[in-house]
Amino acid sequence: MSTAPVAVITGAGRRLGYEVSLALVERGYRVFALHRTHTDEIDFLIGQGVTALQVDLADPDAVQARIDDIVRDTTSVSLLVNNASTFETDAQDPRQRPAQAARLFQINSTAPMQLMHGLGPALETAARACGRPSLIVNITDIFTERPNPQYGAYCASKAALANLTLSYAALLAPDVRVNAIMPGPIGFLPRHTDSQKRQVLSETLLAREGGFHSVVMQLLALVDNDFITGAQIPVDGGRRLAQGMARHGQGSPD
């Protein structure tokens, strides 16, 4: 029977979730990779011994079914990374906004809450077996502190996850630590124009993309340092500070 520590990662089929999965495989973890869409990256992870589980986080029953699958397979989970999210502007039609907000909250905050609660006993079991706390890392956003009004529902859903991080840090202590990483501009999407990229980087003190590795390194640091819980750690190159200075006339977005 394998004695490797177990990690569960959502949104593992692409971008940050994929890079986190690879890093944990390299560290000797047995990884459960939750994904919505099957990708070439998922095929590669499967080739590395990862267990891939398809799930639509917008469906609470599907989330619960995957929790049940995991706890049937293992009674011990050392690490949960709630990485998956959906990001979109608020609907133009106000009549569509309640349904949009409900979906964003389900994916970005309620599903992570389901996973934290449902895997809580397995996280506690792992902690007691190895003599050090297990870990949950929630990927939130710097917009939890400075919301963008064009993305009101998204920002609110990530703020809810930030608050849940604090609640579950208290609820699951001392056996489980719960922290959040707040990314800034770590990896532009293909749809971003050159103008949009310049605008974002002009609002970032370090004036460059961080790359997915910047978040992976912070996550691994949280794995290694078992005296941190309830923390909300920005990995944003100082963007939240530059935005604040611009709003107070101390900087310029140009």
Band (pLDDT 50/70/90 cuts) for residue 185 is: confident
Residue that wins the pLDDT comparison between 143 and 32: 32
64, 39 Cβ separation under 8 angstroms: no
What are the pLDDT digits (tens) for 67-112? 999 999 999 999 999 999 998 888 888 889 999 999 999 999 999 9
CATH topology of domain 6-192+211-238: Rossmann fold (3.40.50)
Question: Which sequence spans correspond to the domains of the chain?
Answer: 6-192+211-238
Residue 154 a catalytic site member = yes
What is the pLDDT, as a whole number, of residue 14?
94
Please state the pTM of the whole predicted model.
0.93
C-alpha to C-alpha distances, 10 to 28, 37, 97, 197, 202, nearest whole angstrom: 18, 12, 25, 27, 31
CB atoms within 10 A of CB 208: 10
Kindly name the residue from 18, 29, 154, 168 that is annotated as catalytic. 154
**Residue 50: beta bridge partners?**
none
